[in-house]
């Protein structure tokens, strides 16, 4: 009996335990481990387990346990925000991880339960479809998508045309062929991987052109401890730290500070805005809290002109559920979880295009917004680069900051644009249009980098179409797969 048959013959707790372990191994493809060989180890096992599932309910259980292992490992950083104030919120940490992993694994369970036993290709289609669904349902959470596991290889370059979901579909399809362990299927699966690798290697061999105007960006990483950040006795010190880093010797055209980098409300301290402008002597992009006349709070990005006036303000549009606002707040009041955010933040409008003086225009993204390809794409307005400000101190130091950076790099590839990223505790970086890091400041270090902004690439196919083509293909393939089943049943 071959390996595939032995795995498929498992039942009971052994079957579900192996599904959980295989899911966790599959998680190793994501940052910070970035071990894409895990695709070839874990995915065949998961396919074989599905083939051996005796009932649809058992198949769904296989998918759920695989998802629980995958998301349990990759989203372990989700406990970190609850440990900032461990006395008040620490008890919630294990429940947050369990509920998040279990909820996302339920998407996989649906695909595994619906796909008929032995129909691996249909499982591939449905699995890709539910991964697409979890990127949009309930405001979406496109974190650690399967295609993102290729980031440190040339294969990731294909997202310039088909996005992460397209790459995820090709990955599942190629490894499903390899898992058949028959000569023709193995050759076809290997051909897909090799072709994608060759295409990506060719793209990476192309030179990146510098901008003709030689525009230089200074990125500041103050490395402010989240536990001390808002204590009144430290706010003046941390504000001065930003100024000191911004005035270090060097030539630059604009300075970027991270999310919520100033300790005052935007509308209340115009004198400190003038201090910032006169001290730095250049335009500053920074994060700040603001409050409007109606008492609504906003998480904002501001471009401060060197005259000391705010020339552009962007209010964060896509807020973090249960972090910046509480969905279904009336229903959840009895749980006490709303105490994490109080009244919550207010969502702003879709990100505008902002111009830095006479320099290049940029698209602003605040923290979590960089995980959504749709927010990084403007279909009708030209933009030269993307700016992301964030405070990844909330994500700890193990996996969260690395995964967040990975998604920013993928946005650069998808859009064909450089991306400047200023993170409070790291990882701050300037990323080229191929997703490569030109320069960066390591996690947990204070510092600055001055980097010349590279030119953008031609508008990408994915940047124009987003996920509509792959969604249409997946729906069509699902219908074509289901039709024969219905005919046989009738």
- Is residue 471 within 8 Å of residue 132, measured between CB atoms? yes
Same domain flag for 241 and 375 = yes
- Is residue 260 within 8 Å of residue 236, measured between CB atoms? no
pLDDT value, residue 335 = 55
- Is residue 242 within 8 Å of residue 428, measured between CB atoms? no
pLDDT value, residue 340 = 44
Structural domain tally of the chain? Answer: 2
Tokens found for residue 135: 């990127």
Q: Is 155 left (phi over 0), alpha (psi -120 to 50) or beta?
A: alpha
Longest distance between any two alpha carbons in the chain, whole Å: 78
Does 421 fall in a domain? yes
Calpha distance 320→145 (Å, rounded): 18
**What does pTM read for this prediction?**
0.91
Same domain flag for 420 and 276 = yes
- Is residue 38 within 8 Å of residue 78, measured between CB atoms? no
Dump pLDDT digits (tens) for 36-63.
999 999 999 999 999 999 899 999 999 9
Same domain flag for 165 and 250 = no
pLDDT value, residue 88 = 76
Does 29 fall in a domain? yes
Same domain flag for 113 and 148 = yes
Same domain flag for 248 and 160 = no
Angle of CA points 378, 382, 385, to nearest 5° = 85
Does 211 fall in a domain? no
Does 284 fall in a domain? yes
Same domain flag for 116 and 140 = yes
Calpha distance 273→292 (Å, rounded): 18
Same domain flag for 92 and 231 = no
How is residue 448 annotated by DSSP? E
Does 84 fall in a domain? yes
Q: Which residue has the tokens 């749709």?
A: 374
Same domain flag for 196 and 223 = no
Residues of the chain with pLDDT under 70: 1, 87, 322-343, 378-381, 484-490
Same domain flag for 230 and 99 = no
pLDDT value, residue 95 = 81
Active site residues: 259, 316, 367
Does 183 fall in a domain? yes
Residue from 171, 130, 126 nearest 148 by CA? 171
pLDDT value, residue 152 = 96
pLDDT value, residue 294 = 83
By three-state DSSP, how is residue 198 classified?
helix
Same domain flag for 187 and 280 = no
- Domain of residue 443 covers 216-459
Dump pLDDT digits (tens) for 7-41.
888 889 999 999 999 999 999 999 999 999 999 99
pLDDT value, residue 202 = 96
Tell me how far CA of residue 348 lies from CA of 107, 313, 351, in angstroms. Answer: 30, 10, 8
230: domain CATH number is 3.60.110.10
Does 154 fall in a domain? yes
pLDDT value, residue 482 = 72
Same domain flag for 485 and 440 = no
Same domain flag for 199 and 236 = no
How many other C-beta atoms can be found within 10 angstroms of the C-beta atom of residue 54?
A: 10
E strand map for 278-373: 283-291, 297-304, 310-315, 354-355, 361-366
Does 405 fall in a domain? yes
Buried residues in 298-334 as b, exposed as e (16+ CB within 10 A):
bbbbbbbbbeeebebbbbbbbbbebebbbeeeeeeee
pLDDT value, residue 305 = 85
């Amino acid at each position: 009996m071959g390996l595939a048959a032995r795995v498929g013959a498992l039942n009971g707790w052994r079957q579900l335990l192996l599904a959980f372990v295989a899911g966790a191994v599959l998680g190793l493809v994501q940052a910070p481990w970035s071990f894409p060989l895990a695709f070839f180890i874990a995915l065949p096992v998961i396919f074989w387990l599905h083939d051996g599932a005796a009932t649809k309910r058992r198949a769904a259980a296989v998918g759920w346990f695989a998802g629980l292992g995958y998301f349990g490992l990759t989203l372990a950083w989700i406990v970190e925000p609850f440990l900032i104030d461990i006395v008040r919120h620490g008890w919630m940490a294990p429940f947050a991880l369990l509920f998040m992993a279990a909820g996302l694994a339920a998407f996989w369970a649906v695909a595994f339960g619906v796909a008929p036993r032995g129909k691996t290709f249909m499982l591939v289609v449905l699995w890709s479809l539910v991964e697409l669904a979890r990127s949009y349902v309930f405001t979406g959470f496109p974190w650690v998508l399967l295609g993102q596991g290729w980031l440190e290889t040339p294969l990731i370059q294909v997202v310039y045309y088909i996005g992460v979901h397209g790459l995820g579909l090709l990955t599942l399809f190629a490894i499903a062929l390899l898992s058949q362990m028959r000569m023709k299927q193995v050759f076809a699966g290997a051909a897909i991987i090799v072709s994608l690798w060759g295409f990506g290697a060719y793209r990476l061999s192309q030179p990146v052109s510098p901008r003709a105007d030689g525009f230089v960006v200074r990125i500041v990483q103050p490395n402010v401890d989240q536990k001390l950040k808002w204590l009144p006795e430290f706010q003046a010190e941390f504000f001065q730290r930003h100024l000191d880093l911004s005035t270090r010797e060097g030539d630059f055209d604009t300075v970027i500070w991270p999310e919520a980098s100033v300790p005052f409300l935007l509308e209340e301290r115009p004198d400190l805005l003038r201090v910032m402008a006169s001290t730095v002597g250049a335009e500053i992009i920074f994060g700040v809290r603001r409050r409007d006349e109606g008492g609504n709070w906003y998480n904002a990005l501001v471009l401060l002109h060197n005259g000391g006036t705010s020339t552009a303000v962007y209010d964060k549009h896509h807020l973090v559920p249960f972090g910046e606002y509480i969905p279904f707040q009336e229903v959840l009041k009895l749980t006490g979880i709303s105490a994490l955010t109080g009244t919550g933040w207010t969502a702003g409008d879709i990100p505008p295009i902002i111009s830095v003086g006479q320099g290049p225009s940029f698209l602003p993204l605040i923290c979590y917004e960089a995980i959504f390809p749709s927010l990084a794409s403007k279909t009708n307005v030209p933009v030269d680069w993307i700016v992301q400000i964030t405070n990844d101190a909330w994500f700890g130091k193990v996996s969260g900051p690395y995964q967040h950076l990975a998604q920013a790099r993928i946005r650069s590839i998808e859009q064909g644009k450089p991306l400047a990223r200023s993170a409070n505790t790291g990882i701050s970086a300037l990323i080229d249009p191929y997703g490569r890091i030109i320069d960066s400041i390591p996690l947990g270090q204070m510092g600055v980098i001055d980097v010349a902004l590279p030119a953008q690439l031609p508008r990408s196919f994915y940047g124009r179409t987003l996920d509509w083509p792959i969604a249409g293909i997946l729906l069509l393939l699902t219908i074509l797969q289901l039709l024969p089943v219905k005919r046989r049943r009738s």
